Structure 1
Amino acid sequence: MADWATQALLDEARLSPKPGLVDARGSGAHQDLTLELMERSANSLTPVFQALAIAGWQRPADSALRQDVGRIGREGERLMMAATAGVNTHRGAIWALGLLVTAVAMQAGNATPGKSCQLAAQLAQLPDHASPKLFSKGLRATQRYQVPGAREEAQQGFPHVMQRALPQLWRSRSQGANEQAAQIDALMAVMTTLSDTCVLSRGGLPALKVMQLGAAEVLDAGGYQHPAGRAALATLEQRLLASNASPGGAADLLAAALFLDRATAR
């Protein structure tokens, strides 16, 4: 499970082209991130995911497990920051994937995507008494714009994973798309409706609207496997870069979907 989670982060980072995001072509809208840094960060988290899997194995979704998840997650953030010299590469992914790795382990080898998201939601709804009372950029964006963020996504059972990313991933594959195109389409599906706090923090509501409408245009054009879809993606990238916006929240949810696609049975 730890290897699957790490590989999901690596696959997301390497997937290209991704509008505004770090990929194999470059750093997108980011000045402080590179693909090599993202890969180093992802690999630093393997022992964290392993600890979460062990902690969750066959346990119920109760307060004791929630405290363990929070403690291990904070240790994961420390390891990530040490690996990246203080750059926040995967804090949101530690939250999403950490909950889902734990939820899959709770099912002891019989996990499904839906049940995993339900159990992750139950954990996310429980208080973490040791959580630091700090306001991240994402949390400030949720309060400023009155939109749901990463916390609410988890507490609601990851609707953008279950209703957007995974269905589109499977649909694109069934329609003959290769794995690169299917994963890009899944990312676009998330971006069509997500209130991505990374985009809001950088470009405000106008950039969010550009993201949502542009991603829908990619899918309406047939997705990345079609020339019109690739052209629409290039246009979306130009617009996001003009706003210095990067859909990092959507990228985290794509990684979560890729993990569940490997780790669970439909």
Structure 2
Amino acid sequence: MENKYVICSEAFVIASYAIEAMLCEVASYPSPGLVSSISKGSHVDMDHYSFIKSTSILSKYMVLFAQEGYSNRTPKEIFAAIRHIGIEAESEMFKGTKGVNTHKGMIFLLGISCAAVTKAMHDKKNFEGIQDIIKQMTKGLVVNELCYMNKDKVKSYGEKLFLKYKVEGIRGQVERGIPLVFDYSLKVYSENSDLKLNNRLIHTLISIMQFCEDSNVLHRHSMDTLGEVKQKAKHIISLGGMTTEIGEASIVALDSEFIKRNISPGGSADILAVTVFFNSVEDYFNHISAT
């Protein structure tokens, strides 16, 4: 009973970081084209309250993802287990939002992330070991689910975009250990800790948009539009992003433009939430090692 309590306690801690990250992402403004606490962005079927509802529903599942990771099983076995949980989480999300997709990508990314973190804790590995666990969990995912998929049974946006553009999307990111987070955005988020939280979030979001192969943009538009989104983000970062007045004004203007053009960089928003999550996790690991 004591061991079970310890496992559940750690699962709740890690899940709380995931929930906080989800809420921080949707609260921040101006997030170009995205739902925030101020705006619906380029969306007509959801708002800030939709995300509060969805996050509340998913809080249970973040705990379950984390509990599955705290195990003697191999990373591959854990991944198989959390995918079943993910299917249930998606179903409950859609019930709560009346069919609106608020967090499908987030469920996948944060589900893997929560399980990988608690697996590292179980195996007494440090923060740097988490990325390798993610790679072990998802090894072969692109080949097995995209390269060899039945083209007559294609359903998801990710599958359709792979067929059209050969973009690996979220599957490719996790199979490589979410390098956009571990090799880039975590550093950006850390280096801008002097900014107010809202501004830090937006600055990191724009930084991510420079490099993210955003499936939401591709689904709504085209590869040319995605290239344009990346270039606009790079220009804003060259102006200083949220660290300068001209950079901030450019982000506000970009938000208005994206709303008019129906552009929503939701993939970048998901990566932002994962960045916030792993920043909290890294702090937690550092605290544990220091005590």
Specify if TM > 0.5.
Answer: yes
Q: Give the length in aligned residue pairs.
A: 263
Q: Tell which deviates more after alignment, 33-42 or 101-110.
A: 101-110
The answer for unaligned runs of 5 or more in structure 1 is none
Matched to 2:138, the amino acid is: A
Residue 54 of structure 1 deviates from its aligned partner by 1.0
Residue aligning to 2:242: 224
State the TM-score, normalizing by the size of structure 1: 0.91
1:207 to 219, 225, 232: 225
> For the Cα contact (< 8 Å) 2:76–2:138, is it kept in 1?
no
Residue aligning to 1:139: 159
Q: CA distance change for structure 1 residues 112 and 100 in 2, over 3 Å: closer, same or farther? A: farther
Where 1:54 maps in the other structure, the secondary structure is helix
Q: Tell which deviates more after alignment, 109-118 or 32-41.
A: 109-118
Distance 2:187 2:163 in 1: 30
Residue aligning to 2:214: 196
1:121 to 135, 138, 144: 135
Q: Tell which deviates more after alignment, 251-260 or 179-188.
A: 179-188
Distance 1:66 1:39 in 2: 27
Residue aligning to 2:175: 155
State the TM-score, normalizing by the size of structure 2: 0.84
Residue 148 of structure 1 deviates from its aligned partner by 2.5
Distance 1:164 1:187 in 2: 12
Residue 103 of structure 1 deviates from its aligned partner by 0.4
- Asked whether 1:172 is paired with 2:192, we answer yes
Distance 1:59 1:102 in 2: 12
Distance 1:18 1:111 in 2: 35
Residue 235 of structure 1 deviates from its aligned partner by 3.0
What is the correspondence of 1:29-44 to structure 2 with a 5 Å cutoff?
Answer: 29-44=42-57
Distance 2:125 2:261 in 1: 40
Q: Which has the higher helix share?
A: 2
> For the Cα contact (< 8 Å) 1:138–1:198, is it kept in 2?
no
**Structure 1, residues 123-168: CA drift from partner, whole Å, max 9, x if none?**
1225699xx9652123312321222301101101101111222111
Where 2:243 maps in the other structure, the secondary structure is coil
The answer for unaligned runs of 5 or more in structure 2 is 1-13, 287-291
Question: Structure 1 segments of 4 or more deviating over 4 A?
Answer: 109-113, 126-129
Aligned-residue CA RMSD in angstroms? 2.2
Distance 2:265 2:81 in 1: 29
> For the Cα contact (< 8 Å) 2:35–2:46, is it kept in 1?
yes
**Structure 1, residues 4-54: CA drift from partner, whole Å, max 9, x if none?**
111110111111110000001211111111110011101111111111111
What is the correspondence of 1:3-14 to structure 2 with a 5 Å cutoff?
Answer: 3-14=16-27
Matched to 1:101, the amino acid is: C
Residue 97 of structure 1 deviates from its aligned partner by 0.3
> For the Cα contact (< 8 Å) 1:118–1:157, is it kept in 2?
yes
Q: CA distance change for structure 1 residues 113 and 216 in 2, over 3 Å: closer, same or farther? A: farther
